[in-house]
Structure 1
Amino acid sequence: MSEYDELVRPEHLGPALAEATGDEAWSEFEAKLIAGGKSNLTFELRSGAGELILRRPPSGKLLPSAHDMGREARVQKALAGTSVPVPEIVLVDEGELLGLPCYVMRKVDGHVIREAFPEGYADSVDDMQRIAGALVDTQAALHLTDPDSVGLADFGKAEGFMQRQVRRWTEQWQRSKTIEIPQMDELGRRLSSGAPAPQRVSVIHGDFRLDNCMMDPKDPGTVAAVLDWELSALGDPLADLALTLFYWVEESDEPVGITPSITRTPGFPGRDFVKKRYAERTGLDLSDLGFYEAFAAFKLAGIVQGINARQKAGSMAGQNFGELDHLVKHISQKGLDTLDA
C-alpha cells in the first residue's frame, strides 16, 4: 500500500485508466507525488505500460471556483493541434473515481526548469536567449489563437474581464487571509476604480512562467508543453503578460520568494526583451501595462495567500513552503508602488 493511495485511489483509477487507454497494464500502477505544485496536486503514475500524469485538487475545503479540473482539461483538449504545445488528455473524471474531479494526461518528455538548468543544458547566453524567446513566442501564439476556432468561444465572459478579476481576487483574499494586510485591501480598492479598455479577447493561461512550461530536452529554443492551466480564461492578454513579467525577475531584483528566480541568471534576457518581442509578435500596445502589472501583484499575492491557507490547513500532501504572510505583504506593496510610479 502506498502512502498516496487515499489521494489517488488506485482500486478505482486503475481500471478506469485501463479502459481509457485500452491497456490492461494500467489496472495497477505506482504513484509518486511531483513536488513543487502549490495549488493542485500532481502525481506521476507508473505501470508496465509506461507513465502518465494525474492532476487533482488538494485535500480539504476548497475555495469557490478554484481547482477546476474539467476546465484545465478542456482548454488543453481545445489547443491540441495548434501552435501552443499541450499534453494529450487521456481521462477526465468529474468525481466518481477519487471523490473529487481529476484528469490524467500523457507524460511529456522535457525539462521543467526551476532553480537551475540541467547539467549541459542552456549553458550559453545564446541558449538562454532562445529559451526566453520560445517562452514569449508561445505566449504570443496563445494570445493570437482565435477562441472561436478552437471551440472556446464560451470559455468565459470576456466583457468586463478585468473588473471581475479584481472582484474575484478580492473575494479570494477575504476568504483565505490569515492576518490583516492593509496593503492588500488598498491595492484592491485602487484597482477596482477602473481598468484600460482591452485591445482584444484571448485565451489566457493565467500563470504563464518558465516552470509552468516544459522545455524540449534537445532544443532550448522549443517549448515542449505548457502545463498548469487552472487559471486559464477568456480575457485581456495584457493581464497574462503582466504576471509573466512579475515572475521574470532580473539579476538586480529581489526574488519573489515562492517562485523560481532562474531568470536572474547572468546573461538571461530581461523584461525589456520580453516586452519588445511580445509587442512585435502580437502588435499590441503596451503603454497601459502599469495597471496590469499592479493587478499581477494583487493576483499573485492572492495566489500566495491561498497556498498559505492550504498549507496551514494541512491539505498539501505534507508539503510546506515556509511562512508566507510576509510575502503577501511584500508583493502587495510592490503593486502599490507600481501604481504610484
Structure 2
Amino acid sequence: MDENDLPGKGEPLEHRFLSGGTQNEIYELRRGETRCVIRIPPQNAPADRDEGILREWRIIEALDGTDVPHTEAVARCADTSVLGRTFYLMGFVDGWSPIGRETWPAPFDTDLDARAGLGYQLAEGIALLSKVDWAAKGLHDLGRPDGFHERQVDRWTNFFERIKGRELEGMDVASAWLRAHRPIDYIPGLMHGDYQFANVMFADGAPATLAAVVDWEMGTVGDPKIDLGWMIQSWPEDTMAEAASKASYVDLRGMPGRSQVLAHYAEVSGRQVDDIDYYIILAKWKLAIVLEKGFQRAGDDHKLQAFGPVIVDTMKAAAELAETTDYRS
C-alpha cells in the first residue's frame, strides 16, 4: 500500500475479518483515519477466481462517477506474490446488510412506512445500473450482449444435463415457452446477475437509503431486466398479507407491492416493464436449475437437502406462469 501511495501511508495497519466463503474473503483494513476493504479469494479457491476478481474490479471502477450506489474503487493487485491471490481494495461502506438479521434494524422493524423505502431503494439500485453507459466505461468486452436471450435456454439446459439427478416437473413446459418467446424489446446494459437484498447495503437510519450494491461475481453486459425479474420473482402484490413475511428470507410486510416496485423501476430506468412475466418465468426456471446443483451434491448437508421441495415448487411455478402467459414478443 505504501509503495502505491495509497491513503494512510506510514500508519500502522489494523484489520478485522468481515465475511468469507468459498468465493471470497473480505476484511476491513484501517490505517489511521483511512478505512477500506480487501476482497480476495481464499487460498483453496479455483484459479479462475483470480480472473473473477479482476472482472469485479473492472465493474466497480466503471461505476465511479455514476449514480449507482457502490463501493469506491481504491486499488487492485494482480501480483500473487503479495498475498498469494489476486485481490482488490474498495472503500468501506458505513451501513448495514439485510443478511444475518432476525428482524429489520430500527426504525424499519416497527415503522412500516419507513420500511417501504427499502423496497423502493432496492428497485432503484438496478434501475440506475441499467442507465450506465457501459460502452463508454470501457466494458464493451465484459459480456456478449448480441444474441443474449437466444443463448439462455441452451446454456442452462446444458448445465442442467451435466448435474442432472432427477427430472423436474414443468421444466420442459417452461423451457419450450422461453424458446418461443422473447422480450418486447431488448436494450443491452450492465447487470448484476444476482440482485437481491442479500447483495446490497443500506445507510443507517431513515429514510431508507441504498448505500452500495455489492458482490459483483455475476456482473456482465446483458439484459438489465433480468435483475428485475430475479429480484421480484417471489415478491407479492399484497405485502400486508401474512404470507409476505414468508415469501422471502426477509420480511416483506410493509414493502411496496409488486406493481408499485415495477412502476418505480420503469420511472427511474425509462424502460418498459410490460413483458415482466417473461423475466419472472426465466428467473424461476433458472433459479430451480441453479439450486438443483447444490441439491444434487447435498450429501449429509441438511441445508442443501432442504432445497429439494423448493426446487420442485419453483419449477412448477415457472411452468404454471408460462401456461397462462402470452404476449407478442
Does residue 128 (structure 1) correspond to residue 128 (structure 2)? The answer is: no
The CA deviation string for residues 184-207 of structure 1, in whole angstroms up to 9 with x for no partner, is 742345423442253422111122
CA contact (8 A) 2:93 2:212 kept: yes
Q: Which of 236, 260, 283 lines up with 2:223 in the alignment?
A: 236
Q: Which of 205, 209, 213 lines up with 1:226 in the alignment?
A: 213
Instruction: Supply the AA of the counterpart residue of 1:32.
Output: F
CA contact (8 A) 1:209 1:247 kept: no
Aligned-pair CA distance for 1:56: 4.0
> Where does residue 9 of structure 1 map in the other structure?
none
> Where does residue 191 of structure 2 map in the other structure?
204
> Where does residue 249 of structure 2 map in the other structure?
260
> Where does residue 160 of structure 2 map in the other structure?
173
For the residues of structure 2 that align with 1:128 and 1:181, how far apart are their CA atoms?
Answer: 40
Please provide the CA RMSD for this pair: 3.5
Distance 1:172 1:254, change over 3 A: farther
Aligned-pair CA distance for 1:281: 2.5
Instruction: Supply the AA of the counterpart residue of 2:143.
Output: G
Distance 1:69 1:109, change over 3 A: same
Q: SS of the counterpart of 1:214?
A: strand
For the residues of structure 2 that align with 1:176 and 1:87, how far apart are their CA atoms?
Answer: 35
Instruction: Supply the AA of the counterpart residue of 1:173.
Output: F
Aligned-pair CA distance for 1:143: 1.0
Distance 1:23 1:254, change over 3 A: closer
For the residues of structure 1 that align with 2:58 and 2:85, how far apart are their CA atoms?
Answer: 17
Please show how residues 1-341 of structure 1 align to structure 2 within 5 Å. 17=1, 19-20=3-4, 21=6, 23=8, 30-32=15-17, 34=19, 40-47=23-30, 49=32, 51-57=35-41, 68-94=52-78, 96=80, 100-114=85-99, 115-121=102-108, 123-177=110-164, 179-183=165-169, 185-186=171-172, 187-249=174-236, 250=239, 251=241, 252=243, 255=246, 260-263=249-252, 265=253, 267-308=254-295, 323-341=306-324
Aligned-pair CA distance for 1:232: 1.6
Distance 1:133 1:254, change over 3 A: closer
For the residues of structure 1 that align with 2:314 and 2:191, how far apart are their CA atoms?
Answer: 22
Distance 1:163 1:112, change over 3 A: same
Q: SS of the counterpart of 1:192?
A: helix
The CA deviation string for residues 29-86 of structure 1, in whole angstroms up to 9 with x for no partner, is 5552526x6x733422345556543434567676989982222221111011110011
Bigger drift between 80-89 and 130-139 goes to: 130-139
The CA deviation string for residues 124-148 of structure 1, in whole angstroms up to 9 with x for no partner, is 2221222222222222111122222
For the residues of structure 1 that align with 2:45 and 2:170, how far apart are their CA atoms?
Answer: 23
CA contact (8 A) 1:305 1:325 kept: yes
CA contact (8 A) 1:40 1:55 kept: no
CA contact (8 A) 2:12 2:31 kept: no
Number of aligned residue pairs: give it: 314
Structure 1, unmatched stretches of 5+, are 1-16
Q: SS of the counterpart of 1:144?
A: coil
Aligned-pair CA distance for 1:94: 4.4
Instruction: Supply the AA of the counterpart residue of 2:166.
Output: E
For the residues of structure 1 that align with 2:284 and 2:225, how far apart are their CA atoms?
Answer: 14
Instruction: Supply the AA of the counterpart residue of 2:189.
Output: S
Residue identity over aligned pairs, in percent, reads 26
